[in-house]
């Protein structure tokens, strides 16, 4: 898939002036950091983010029987809702909340 292609750094770093640097800096946050931020946002809204950290370092959203593995999609922490369809954790949880409120 595309992910593995991105993961392999090019042998020779290509430097294109200063712009390139900034683009990378934005996305330097690791999944851990992104998830910590997300959890913090939820805390501030008095919500619990049902996270479980896996032995392989990944995370799942633990929703009873239905755990969803978190993954990075376009720099956002997301879950796979249906095969190949992703929603950000926030979108996903708010859609669940709407269902629960009906």
The H or E element containing residue 92 is helix 89-101
Q: What is the pLDDT of residue 9?
A: 56
CA distance 39 to 101: 22
Q: What is the pLDDT of residue 55?
A: 92
User: Taking 50 as the threshold, does the pLDDT of residue 23 lie above it?
Assistant: no
Q: Which comes out higher in pLDDT, residue 5 or 61?
A: 61
Q: What is the pLDDT of residue 45?
A: 86
Q: What average pLDDT is seen over the chain?
A: 77
CA distance 31 to 4: 16
Q: What is the pLDDT of residues 48-98, one digit of tens each?
A: 888 888 899 889 988 877 788 898 888 889 998 888 889 998 888 888 877
DSSP state of 18: T
CA distance 9 to 41: 32
Q: Which comes out higher in pLDDT, residue 42 or 29?
A: 42
Which whole number is the average pLDDT over 20-28? 50
Q: What is the pLDDT of residue 8?
A: 57
CA distance 39 to 59: 12
* DSSP bridge partners of 88: 78
- Could you list the beta-strand ranges (E) of the chain: 51-53, 59-61, 68-73, 76-82, 85-88
């Amino acid at each position: 898939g595309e992910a593995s292609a991105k993961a392999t750094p090019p042998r020779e770093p290509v430097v294109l002036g200063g712009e390139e640097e900034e683009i990378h800096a934005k996305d330097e946050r690791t999944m851990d950091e992104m998830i910590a931020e997300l959890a913090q946002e939820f805390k501030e809204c008095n919500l619990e983010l049902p996270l479980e950290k896996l032995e392989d370092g990944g995370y799942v959203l633990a929703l009873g029987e239905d755990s969803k593995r978190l993954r990075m999609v376009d720099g956002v922490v997301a879950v796979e809702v249906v095969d190949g369809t992703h929603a950000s954790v926030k979108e996903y949880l708010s859609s669940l909340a709407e269902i629960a409120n009906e």
